[in-house]
Structure 1
Amino acid sequence: MPSPHPLLPRSTPAASGMSSRAITALLDRLDAHSVECHSLMIVHRGHVIAEGWWAPYDADRPHLLYSLTKSFTAIAVGLAVTDGLLSPDDRIAQILPEHVPADLHRQAHRLTVHHLLSMTTGHRTDSLAEAWQREPGDLVTGFLRVPFPDPVGTRHAYDNPTTFILARMVEKVTGRPLPDLLDERLFLPMGIDHAEWDRVASGAAFGFHGLHLRTEAVAAFGQLLLREGRWGERQLIPRSWVRLATRPHIDTQPFEDGSGNADYLRGYGYQFWISRHGYHGDGSFGQLCVVVPSHDLVVAVTGAHTRAQAVLDAIWECLLPGVGHAASTPDDAASARDDAGDAASTRDDAGDAASARDDELLAERLRRLSLPPVPGSAAPHRSAKARLDASTEDSALPDATTVAVDPVGGGWLVRFGPFPEIGSLPGAETFLDVEVGHGEWRESSPLGRPVVATGAWQGDTFVAELYVITTPHRVRLVVDTGTGTAVATWNIAPLTGSDLRVHLRSPLMTRPDVA
C-alpha cells in the first residue's frame, strides 16, 4: 500500500528490468530464516518496483530506525561543512570547549570531526554506558573522560557517543537543533514531513539513535545518496560529501561473538558501513538502507530481529541475480518454437506474458504480508485479573502490577496499574489502558504513542501481543487465571530501557543509563 503522498514514482519489476521471481526468492529466504520484517521497499532505476508491510505495520507509520539515524547525522555534518561552518579537521576542544574537562588527556585534545565520523577515537568498545556513568548530565564530557587505550585514528570501534558529539557540534556551529536543520535542508525539500525524534532528558535529539521515518522516506534517502545528493533539480547534499561519507576510511573488526559478518568487515565510512556491494546504513534489530550504485538499486527494510547479515545475504544472493533478467519464458514453449519463422517475436510475447504474470503474483503476495494474530477463542463474557510477575527476563512492567482483562466490543480492554504518576502530587495515580482485538489488530494511544494489539483465550490463559507500532518492539502478555499471575515480556528489549510506559510516550525522552 503506497503512501498517499508518494516520494518516489512507481513501476513494475518487469518494466524496470528486474525479475519478480528474484524478489519472491528474497521473501522466501527471509521466511525460511525466520527473519521478522516489518516493511520492505525495493527501488530500481529510480522507481519503487516492490513494497510491502507486514500487518499490523503499514505504509503510513514511521518506524524507529535506531542507529540508521547516524547516517542522517553524518549528512547534517556535511551540510555544516558545505556552509563553511565546520571542517573534518576541527577538534572537539575547539568547537565545544565548555564540555572539555580541565584534566583532559592530551589524546582527547587531538580528536577531530573526522575521527568522530569514522569512529576512530582510540576506544576499543562502545563507551556509551561508561561515559554516561562518569558524567550523567553531560555525555560529551563523559566521553572525553573515558580512557583511550589506542592511538587516535588507528582502530575502528563502534562508539555511540561519537555521533552524539557530532550532533552537538553541528548544533553549536549552525545555531539550530539537529532536527530543524535536517527538516529545512533535507526532509522538507524531499517532501518528507513526518520525521520524529526521540530525545535525551535535556530535550536534545540523540543523534546516534531515535529518528522515526516511514519506509518510503528511508528508501528516498537511499535514492538521494545513489544520485550523489541530487533530488530532482536540486543538489541537496554536495556530491563530494556523499562520495566522502560512503567510501571506506578505516578497516573494521570482527564481531566479538564470532558470528558471520561479511558485510561488516569491508570497512567503515562516515557513519556508513561499506558492503560487499555498495554501502548501507544500519540500525539495531533490522533497520537497513542498502545502496548498490553498480545495480542502480536501493533496498529499505525495517524489522525486529538480530539477523541483519542474513538480510544482506538474501539481497546479494536472491535479488541481485534478478537485475536485468525480467523475462521468464517457459523452456518448453521456447524450444517448441525454435524452428518457427516468428520464433523470436513469439518468445518475446511469451516472456512478456510470463513476466506480467509473475509481477501480479508478487504484488498479491506483498498485499497479503502479515504477522500472525494470536490464535484462540474470543470467550466474549470472560474476564480476568492477575498480578504481574516481573522476575522473567525482559519484563516490560514492574513486579506486582495489577492486570485486568475485560471484554469490550468483540475484543478486550486490558488495564495495567494503578501506577504512581511521575512528577505529580503524592498519591496521584494513573492507569495504562490498552485495547486488544480478536482476530484483528485494535489501536489505542494510552500515553500518546500508538499501541496496536491482538489477543485470544487459549484455555484458561489469556494471551495478547501489544505492538508499540512505531518501533520494532512488542510486549507479549500472558495471563494465567489458574495461578492469578501474569507476565509481560518484550520480543526484543528496547535499548533505552524496559519500562513499557516510557516507550508509550511521544517523544520518548530518556537516557540509555536510566532504565
Structure 2
Amino acid sequence: MFKGLSLLFILLLSQTAHAEYWPAEQWSPGPKVTGAALEALETYAFPPRDDTTRTGIRTDALLVIRDGQLIYERYAGPTTADTPHLTWSISKSLMAAVLGVAYGEGLFTLQDPAVKFYPALENHPAITLADLLHWASGLDWQEDYEYAPLKSSVVAMLYTRGHSNMAAFTAGHDEYAAPGQAFRYSSGDSNLLSAALKNIVGPSRYPDYPWSALFEPLGIHHAVWETDATGAFVASSYAYLTARDLARVGLLMARDGRWGDRQLLPKDWVAFNREPFTGYRAHQDEAVAGGQWWLNRAVDGAAQPWPDAPADTFAALGHWGQALYVIPSENLVIVRYGDDRDGSYRHNELLKLALKAFAGTVQP
C-alpha cells in the first residue's frame, strides 16, 4: 500500500514540476532575478539616455517571459507597461500569425496564386502566397529608409504616392526575378498579404479579423492596427502592442501555435514560419528569412547570425530596434522595444547577456 502511495506521490510531484503556465488577464510572476549578469544586461540595454541627439542604444522596454511566467520587466523614456508601442516591421510577423488562423480554417493554401485573392496582381499571376510570405515575390522593390529616401519604394508607399492604397502601389511594380526564386526584403509583399486576407476571410470579417482570430484568444485587448485609405491593415509597419501583449504572441509561437488547450495556429504553419526560405542567400550578421519571421540558422555556408544564442532562436524584428525573440530550447520569450537611430544596438549582444542573466531561473 505504502509503495503504491509513494508511486502516486512521485507522479503528482512530476506533474507539478512540469506545470505549464499561461497568462490570464495578467502574467503570473516568476522567480525574481538578480546578480551581476542582470546588471551587465541592464548596463547594455539601458545606458544613460540622450533625448537631444537620439544617439546610442535607447531601449524603451525590456520584458522576459520564461516558462510562461514574467521574470523581468523594465521601461524607459515615455513607454510604460500600458503603452501600445509602435512595432514597425514586427507587424509583418503579426500578420503572418493572423493568416495562420485563416490557414487553419482551410481558407487558403500556401501554393494558391495571390491573384486569386487580390486581383490587382493580374500582371503577376505566378506569385503565390508562399512567395509573399518569403519576401520572394520577384517584384522590383527598394527597401531603403532614411538614408536613401528618393529611391525608396517603402518611403513612397508609406508616406507619398503609394500611401492611400499600399497593395495596389506594390502590385504596380515590375518584376526583377521569377516569383519564388530570390529573396528581396519587401514591406510591399507584406501589404499584399494584408490585401489578400480581405478576400480570404471576406470583407465583412476583415475589419475585426486580427482581433477575433488572434488578439482576443490570446487575451490582448489594447492592440491598435492602422489601415490605409482602402481599409487594409498596414501589415508592413503600423501595429501597436504593449510589451506584455506582444509577449503573448511570442509564447504562442514558442509553443508551436498552441494556447492553453486550443491549437490556435496549425503546427505545420508555425513550422513553415520557422523554416528557412530555400532561395535565401546568407549575408554576414543578418538573420535568415523564414515565413515573415527571422531565424538564427546557419545556411548557405554562413554561420549563425547570432552565434551566442541557440540555433532554434527566431524573431520578429522592426525598425529602430523593435524585437520579439523566441528561444524554445530555453523556454524564453524576450520583448525589446527601442528608439535606436544610429545602428549601435546588436541583437547578438542583447541575447548573449539575456541568456547569461536568465538561464536556469525557473525552479521546479
TM-score band by shorter chain is 0.7 to 0.9
Call closer, same or farther: CA 1:63–1:11 in 2, change over 3 Å: same
Tell me which moved more, 304-313 or 77-86: 304-313
> How far apart, CA to CA, are the structure 2 residues paired with 1:131 and 1:290?
28
Corresponding position of 1:109: 125
Cα offsets for 1:457-494 (capped at 9, x unmatched)? xxxxxxxxxxxxxxxxxxxxxxxxxxxxxxxxxxxxxx
Q: TM-score under structure 2 normalisation?
A: 0.76
| Secondary structure of the structure 1 residue equivalent to 2:288 | coil
Pairwise CA distance, 1:291: 0.5
CA–CA distance in 2 between the matches of 1:56 and 1:208? Answer: 24
Identity across matched positions, percent? 25
* Structure 1 unmatched ranges of 5 or more: 255-260, 328-351, 353-515
Between the two proteins, the alignment pairs up a number of residues equal to: 307
TM-score (norm 1): 0.55
Aligned counterparts of 2:343 and 2:216: Cα–Cα separation in 1: 30
Aligned to 1:76: 98
Question: Does structure 1 residue 274 correspond to structure 2 residue 295?
Answer: yes
Task: State the match for 1:251 in structure 2.
Answer: 280
Maintained 8 Å contact 1:20/1:326? no
Residue 177 to residue 211, structure 1, CA distance change in 2 (3 Å): farther
Show the 5 A alignment for 1:352-501.
none
Using CA pairs under 8 Å that are at least 6 residues apart, name the structure with larger relative contact order, 1 or 2.
2
1:292 maps onto 2:327 in alignment: yes
Q: Does 2:66 correspond to 1:39? A: no
Unaligned runs of 5+ in 2: 1-23, 49-55, 144-152, 297-305
Aligned-partner SS, 1:66: coil
Q: 2:111 aligns with which of 79, 84, 89?
A: 89
Deviation at 1:59, TM superposition (A): 0.8
Q: Is 2:340 aligned against 1:305?
A: yes
Q: Is the 8 A contact 2:64 2:73 kept in 1?
A: yes
Structure-2 separation of matches of 1:100 and 1:81:
21
SS of the residue aligned with 2:89?
A: helix
Identify the match of residue 29 of structure 1 among 35, 40, 44: 44
* Aligned positions of 1:122-161 closer than 5 A: 122=138, 123=140, 125-126=142-143, 127-129=153-155, 138-161=165-188
After superposition, the CA RMSD in angstroms is 2.8
Report if the CA contact (8 A) 1:26-1:318 is conserved.
yes
Give the Cα separation in 2 of the matches to 1:93 and 1:212: 29
CA shift, 1:9, in A, is: 1.5
Higher Rg: 1
Q: Does 1:212 align with 2:240?
A: yes
Q: 1:31 to 1:202 in 2, by over 3 A?
A: same
Other-structure match for 1:491? none
Report the CA distance between 1:136 and its aligned residue: 6.8
1:316 corresponds in structure 2 to 351
Instruction: Determine the C-alpha separation between the residues in 2 that align with 1:136 and 1:59.
Output: 31
Cα separation, 1, equivalents of 2:170 and 2:191: 10
Amino acid at match of 1:153: G
- CA shift, 1:13, in A, is 3.9
C-alpha deviation, 1:29, in angstroms: 1.6
Deviation at 1:202, TM superposition (A): 2.9
Deviations 1:49-73 (A, max 9, x none): 0001114321112111111011110
Shift in Å, 1:280: 0.5
Is 62-71 or 33-42 further displaced after alignment? 33-42
